[in-house]
Amino acid sequence: MTSCAEAKPDPSMRRGACPSLASPMQTGDGLLVRLHPAGPLTPAELRLLAALAERFGNGLLEVTARGNLQIRGLTVSTVGSLGAAIANAGIAIAEGVAIETPPLAGFDPGEIVDPRSLADALRGAIAGQPALTLAPKLSIVVDGGGRFHLKDVAADLRLDALDRGDGVRWLLSLGGTARTARPVALLSSERAVPAMMTLLVELSSLGPSARGRDLDADHIRRRWSDAAPAVPDESPRWLPTGIHDFGSGRIVLGLGLAYAQTDAGNLIAFLEQAEEMGATEVRLASRHGLLLLGLDREAAAIARQLALSHGFLVAPDDPRNHIASCAGRACASALLDTKAVARLAVEAGREFLDGSLMLHLSGCAKGCARPMVSPLTLVGAPSGYALVVNGTASVAPSAYTDESGIGSALARLNALVRENKDAGESAHSCLTRLGTGPIAAAFEQG
């Protein structure tokens, strides 16, 4: 099987492949690697990774929307040293096909089943099929449910646990989130791994770029006798930020990384303080989160205030939770100072940053921070800043403003929502109702 970890280092690797230690990705601020720890980290282990990011890179660390750790600013000569240091520290990094489970798997008493044993069995089965040739970005979700589920994380193949009364069954779906993926079978735990392997073999036969969306769902449904029910996704959306009580003394302190990024110094300083107060584990979470376990409620409250002083997000109502930003001026490709514009948006955009939509700030048209469609996207352009309505950073923009006018443009968007929103209506609903024309006009000239 061709995996990210087995490929030869290639600093010119195309965007969209998997930037592992063996195959770093060239970005505007040097090489980038993405690490998926094989299990929870201790505070000391995450501090070490931060120190290594400062030693071998530029000291900037990111937690991605899918809960992976990224280290930026590496060079061809330092990537190997980073990998050796991680290995010497005994920190296990998952390799091969990305198989994702909820961040609190095995801890959350509300989960239907701990999905980790099934995920491990699937990893073993894949490792036993070295002839498989799969897309580098192919991902699998194995979701046992619980408060911090992965229902709205897209994947090529999904196994979502269902409690059927007579035991746990796994809903096998293709290409999407729990809401958008196409269900094809309802399987027992014993049949889940063989069924997944059948689909992976089929994907391999379709070629190295085949994804879950390329499989024939109707054909697969006819193959298995267990009908796949249509299960509405009613699980509430969650943010990592806040103090979460799981009962019986199980407290989790959730933090978010403002604009998905922190620097090594702040992370190290906070983790030292949190460990002194009793933190024993750190789990990376989707939506750019860190989940700290081991603290009692009093310690968690103190640690939460310390985290705030170090620049982390600590509350779900912080508008910065709803801004997706790339590295900005830290990247040589950026034409937009995303961090500065994000601060302007927080000051001027309280009405449209109500939690109902994500504002995407992209330094260039590549759209690294959020490749999917966003209601509002600001993109750096040679002539100023471009606004894309209901699109990605790469599509034709709807409006422009120059650098000096961005603060006023954001304020006008905010006023547009404030003056047109009906009682109880969200900003997203309001902007959708108004349409592109009024939004573009407000952004450009009011």
Domains of the chain by range and CATH? 25-96+240-316 (3.90.480.10), 104-223 (3.30.413.10), 320-444 (3.30.413.10)
Of all helices (H) and strands (E), which one includes residue 143? strand 139-143
Is-contact 145 110, C-beta < 8 A? yes
Residues composing the chain: 446
Amino acid at 68: N
pLDDT in tens, 159-176: 999 998 788 999 999 999
As a whole number, the mean pLDDT across the chain is 92
Is-contact 308 314, C-beta < 8 A? yes
pLDDT at 17: 58
pLDDT at 225: 67
Instruction: State the CB neighbour count (10 A cutoff) for residue 67.
Output: 24
Distance CA 112, CA 99 (A): 18
What pTM was estimated for this model as a whole?
A: 0.90
Of the pLDDT bands very low, low, confident and very high (cuts 50, 70, 90), residue 1 is very low
pLDDT in tens, 128-151: 999 999 999 999 999 999 999 999
pLDDT at 446: 55
Of the pLDDT bands very low, low, confident and very high (cuts 50, 70, 90), residue 13 is very low
**Extended strands (E) in 218-356:** 242-245, 251-257, 261-263, 281-285, 289-293, 312-313, 323-325
pLDDT at 14: 42
Q: What string of DSSP letters covers 40-68?
A: -B-HHHHHHHHHHHHHHS-SEEEE-TTS-
How much is the average pLDDT of 296-305? 98
What's the token pair of residue 157? 């193949």
Of all helices (H) and strands (E), which one includes residue 400? strand 399-401
Is-contact 149 100, C-beta < 8 A? no
